[in-house]
């Protein structure tokens, strides 16, 4: 738990793009993240997420995998064509190995399953935020 607390302090210095099509989940995660990060950008599908990525260049991306218009894998692949370093965390209701393989091929940093464990999410994004800050 000390690692969690230690790494959480780095969140205040990064911006996050959060992409989720489910309004209830999007509102819950947005509510829990917005006071902990420097800037939070929120999109409801991969197309909007890609547009926000291009206009805001966030430090970290958290995205659902299954969304209308453009899914999280396709969005991640497009982002990888433009930026190979930005960490991407995929969240999925599916724990299928095909989804994990597709995520790995899109060079995502982490893969989490729903229902989302917020502590696990904070551990992961805290660790990624620390790496971002210490590399700059």
Residues 6+ apart with CB under 8 A from 47: 69, 70, 75
| For the chain, domain boundaries | 2-135
What's the chain's Rg over C-alpha atoms? 14
Residues 6+ apart with CB under 8 A from 44: 19, 20, 21, 23, 26, 67
3-state secondary structure of 89: strand
Per residue in 30-89, pLDDT (tens digit) is 999 999 999 999 999 999 999 999 999 999 999 998 899 999 989 999 999 999 999 999
Statement: the pTM of the whole predicted model exceeds 0.75: yes
pLDDT greater than 90 at residue 2: no
Least confident interval from 9-13, 35-39, 99-103, 114-118 = 99-103
95 close to 113: Cβ distance less than 8 angstroms: yes
Architecture in CATH for domain 2-135: 3-Layer(aba) Sandwich (3.40)
């Amino acid at each position: 738990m000390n690692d969690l607390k230690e790494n959480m302090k780095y969140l205040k210095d990064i911006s996050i793009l959060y992409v989720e099509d489910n309004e209830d989940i999007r509102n819950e995660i947005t509510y829990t993240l917005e006071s902990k990060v420097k800037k939070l950008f929120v999109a409801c599908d991969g197309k909007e997420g890609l547009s926000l990525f291009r206009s805001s260049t966030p430090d970290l991306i958290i995205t659902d995998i299954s969304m209308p218009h453009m899914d999280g894998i396709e969005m991640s692949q497009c982002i990888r064509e433009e930026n190979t370093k930005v960490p991407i965390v995929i969240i999925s209701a599916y724990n299928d190995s095909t989804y994990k393989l597709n995520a790995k091929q899109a060079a995502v940093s982490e893969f989490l399953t729903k229902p989302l464990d917020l502590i696990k999410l904070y551990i992961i994004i805290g660790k990624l935020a620390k790496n971002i800050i210490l590399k700059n």
